[in-house]
Structure 1
Amino acid sequence: MALFADRSAAGRELAESLQPWAGQDAVVFGIPRGGVVVAAAVARSLGLPLAAAVVRKLGAPSHEEFAVGAIAGGVRVVNDAALRASHVTPEQLAFVEDMERVELRRRGALFHTDDDVDGITAIVVDDGIATGATATAACLSLRARRAETIVLAAPVAPADWRPERDVVDEYICPHRVRDFWAVGQFYDDFTQTSDAEVVELLTHDLRE
C-alpha cells in the first residue's frame, strides 16, 4: 500500500517532523536524483536553502538496484554482508566502482556540490532508505567536509535499520516499515527524476 502520492507529498509530510530546524543555520541536502525532489519540499517548508549531496550506489551486477555499497566525495562504503549475499567478487566490485566514479564526477559538476559546509547543520534527505548505503555515504562525505551536525531524514525506511552513531547526530523517519522490499512500493508515482528536474529545483532555490 502506497504511503505517498509522489515525492513532493512525501517531502511535505517529512517536513512536519523536521520543524525544530525551521529557520536555523542549516542546509537541506537532497540525494540525487529523487531525493532532491523530496528535499526541495522540505527546504520550502522549513525556509532553508537546498543543495545536492551526490552519491552513487554500487549495485550488484546481477541486480543493479540492490546496493552492496556506495561512494561519495572522499568516501567509500561497502556492506560486507550484502557482498556475500549477492556473491559479488572483488573484480566485479572494482568494475562497478570505476563506472560509478565517472558518473559521480559528472553529477558533482552538474549539480555544483562544492559549497562550503564548515560549521553548518546538514539535513540529508532521500526519498527512502533501503540498505542505507547511499545515505551513509552522503552523511560521511558531509562530515568529512566539516559539517557540524548531520541530520539524516527519509520519509520511509525498514523498521530494523538505524544509522551508525558516528555517522549521524539525528535520524528522522516517520514511517519505519516491517514489510519493506523497495522504496518505490510506498509511492503512487515513483517516476524517475531527470537531471534537468534536479538542476531546475536547485537553481530555483538560488533565485529565491
Structure 2
Amino acid sequence: MGHLFTDRAEAGALLAERLPGRRDAVVLALPRGGVAVALPVARRLGGVLDVLVTRKIGYPESPELGVGALAEGGEPVFDEELMGRLGLTMADLDEVVERERAELERRVRVYRGSRPLPTVAGHDVVVVDDGLATGVTARAALRALRAAEPDRLTLAAPVGAARTVKMLRGEADEVVVLATPPDFFAVGQWYEHFDQLTDAEVLSLLRSR
C-alpha cells in the first residue's frame, strides 16, 4: 500500500484541479486538517476561505469512537446505525453533546473571534476536509449549511471510504473525492506526512489566504 499524497498541501492542489468553474466560491474548511487542504483550493478558485467548526460526539465509554457530530449553526447529527449497535439513545449522549457544544463555541472564538461565518445564502459553497472516514462530521457540516440556503453545495476531499462517499452524495449537490481506495482504513494512511495541526497553524493558514 503506497501513499497517495505527500501532504495536505499537495492533496489540496490536486483537489483544486477538479473544481473548475467555481470562481468566487465560499470555501469552508473543516478544522483542523481540512484547512491545509482548503488553502490551495481557495487560491485556485479565488474565493473566500474560512472555517466551519465541527466537533465529534464521542461514545462515552470510548471517546475516540465518533457516534455523531456537531457543526456550528446546526443540530447534532448521529450515526443511527452505530448507535443501535452500541445500544445508545440520544439521551445517553446529552452530557457529551453539551460539552462538545461548549468546545465548538470556544473554537469558533479562537478561529474567528467576533467575525461571523461568511454569507452562505445564494452562494456557491465548497466544504473541504482532508479525508472522509465515517463521514458523520461532514454530514453535520453539510446539513448545517443546507439550512442556510446556499445556491450550490459541494463537498470536496482528497480521499474517502467508498461507502461514506456514496452516503454523502445525498447530502450535497456534488461530492468531489479524488480517490476511494478499496482498502481504506483511516485518512492518515494515504498521506506520507499527516501531522495534526495546532490552532496556531490553522490561524496562520487562514491569514495566508
Query: TM above 0.5, one fold?
Result: yes
- Deviation of the 1:80 alpha carbon: 0.9
Structure 2: how far apart are the matches of 1:135 and 1:178? Answer: 20
Structure 1: how far apart are the matches of 2:168 and 2:137? Answer: 13
Stretch of structure 1 that moved more, 91-100 or 102-111: 91-100
Instruction: Could you tell me which runs of 5 or more consecutive residues in structure 2 were left unpaired when the two chains were aligned.
Output: none
Would you say the 8 A contact 2:54–2:141 is kept in 1? yes
Residues 115-163 of structure 1, C-alpha deviation per residue, up to 9 Å, x if partnerless?
A: 2222111100000001111111111111222222100001001112224
Show the counterpart of 2:105: 105
1:187 and 2:191 equivalent? yes
Would you say the 8 A contact 1:61–1:88 is kept in 2? no
Instruction: Give matches, 1:99-178, under 5 Å.
Output: 99-112=99-112, 113-161=116-164, 162-164=166-168, 167-178=171-182
Distance 1:164 1:13, change over 3 A: closer
Identity %: 44
Show the counterpart of 1:32: 31
Residues 28-61 of structure 1, C-alpha deviation per residue, up to 9 Å, x if partnerless?
A: 1100000011001211222222111111111223
Structure 1: how far apart are the matches of 2:62 and 2:12? Answer: 28
- Aligned pair count reads 203
Stretch of structure 1 that moved more, 82-91 or 193-202: 82-91
Q: Which amino acid aligns with 1:51?
A: D
Match of 2:197, SS state, is coil
Would you say the 8 A contact 2:31–2:51 is kept in 1? yes
Structure 1: how far apart are the matches of 2:81 and 2:105? Answer: 28
Match of 1:188, SS state, is coil
Q: TM-score, normalised by structure 2?
A: 0.89
- Deviation of the 1:15 alpha carbon: 1.0
Q: CA RMSD in A?
A: 1.8
Distance 1:166 1:157, change over 3 A: closer
- Deviation of the 1:114 alpha carbon: 2.4
- Deviation of the 1:91 alpha carbon: 5.0
Structure 2: how far apart are the matches of 1:16 and 1:57? Answer: 30
Q: TM-score, normalised by structure 1?
A: 0.89
Residues 149-180 of structure 1, C-alpha deviation per residue, up to 9 Å, x if partnerless?
A: 10000100111222455521011001012211
Would you say the 8 A contact 1:11–1:155 is kept in 2? yes
